[in-house]
Amino acid sequence: MNIAIILSGGVGSRMGASIPKQYIEVDGKPVIWYCLKTFFENPLIDSVVIGRAEEWAEYVEEQVRSVMTDKPVYYSLPGETRQYSIFNALMEAEKHGAEEDDIVIVHDAARPLVSDAIINSCLLGCHEADGTLPVIPVKDTLYQSVDGENITSLLKRDELFAGQAPEAFVFGKYLHLHKEMPHKELLSINGSTEIAYKGGLHVKLIKGDEMNFKITTPEDLSNFESIINQRKNESIRSSSSERPAI
């Protein structure tokens, strides 16, 4: 079984909007709708767990109904941190029968342009490793500074990669790490793969996608709006060209 976890509990403080970024509408649909559609329509995904705040429960369920197939969907509450939100979703999946050798794939609702290619690569990679992480090469030269004022060291750009979501893991191993990690340490985890790496799991890197960006700032939202409008216009032009001449 392949179980998708969609995290939709963030407040999006850097966006400066009155509602969480994942619920801002673009072309009449909220940001979360776009990734929900991709995951629900992907034939490799068997079930979905969505982590959302109680005040947005009805709204999220409405979006799910608009894209839902016959796949089971469950809901979990956000935790103290992103990683605790993942933990809550993992426990929900376990409650509904997830088994040790199932695969869980974790995604952020604020990454609406996730592709089937990345989802499939993440899932297939877990047949060779304990987890998979899509990455893109770092383009700029990076410098390390301990005090923020002076260069401490020059990092090797060809050895550095920026991680993306979704990230996939063997369910049983990944859940076990969460159950065993002390509360304070789990609170300090920043990325889904960080706990896997610290726990000694073998995580395989796969090719990411520049289009699979996370909407964090107003500039990101504007970029996403432009992409959706461009795709819409291309679809209209394509439909027009296919109509038979009268």
pLDDT at 104: 98
Residue 216: Cβ within 10 Å count:
15
Spell out the residues 6+ positions from residue 120 whose beta carbon is closer than 8 angstroms to its own: 42, 44
Q: What is the pLDDT of residue 10?
A: 76
Domain 2-135+163-242 = CATH 3.30.420.610:
no
**Residue 140 pLDDT:** 87
Asked if the model's pLDDT at residue 242 lies above 80, the reply is no
Confidence bin at 239 (pLDDT 50/70/90)? confident
- Report, as an integer, the average pLDDT of 37-58: 97
Q: In 3-state terms, what secondary structure has residue 88?
A: helix
Q: What is the pLDDT, as a whole number, of residue 12?
A: 59
Domain boundaries, the chain: 2-135+163-242
Identify the pLDDT of residue 244: 64
CA-to-CA dists, residue 180 to 81, 199, 230, angstroms: 17, 10, 47
Residue 215 has pLDDT above 90, yes or no: yes
